[in-house]
Amino acid sequence: MGTVAAIGARADVTGLALAGVEVRVAEDAEAVRRAWRSLPGTVTLVVLTQAAAGALGAETTAPAPNRPLTVVMSS
């Protein structure tokens, strides 16, 4: 079974750590892209803030083997 990660602004994702989510704080687009690229292969689900999803664009949906499932938080 894989792990769950969250990427986004501190105020939006830190509370998810209480549920055991691996939180990656990323306050700007470049930090989001770095966080996405540094996810370990054990991550199977990534929760993204809307801003993080916008920063990643097609990077989360482009075909690739073993890409984690992503979900975007509602505002």
Q: What residues make up the domain containing 40?
A: 3-72
Number of domains in the chain: 1
Starting at the edge strand found earlier in the chain, the sheet holding 3-8 runs 22-25, 3-8, 43-48, 69-72
pLDDT in tens, the chain (75 residues): 799 999 999 999 999 999 999 999 999 999 999 999 999 999 999 999 999 999 999 877 776 777 899 999 997
Q: CA–CA separation, 75 vs 20, rounded Å?
A: 22
The helix/strand/coil state of 74 is: coil
CATH number at residue 19: 3.40.50.10580
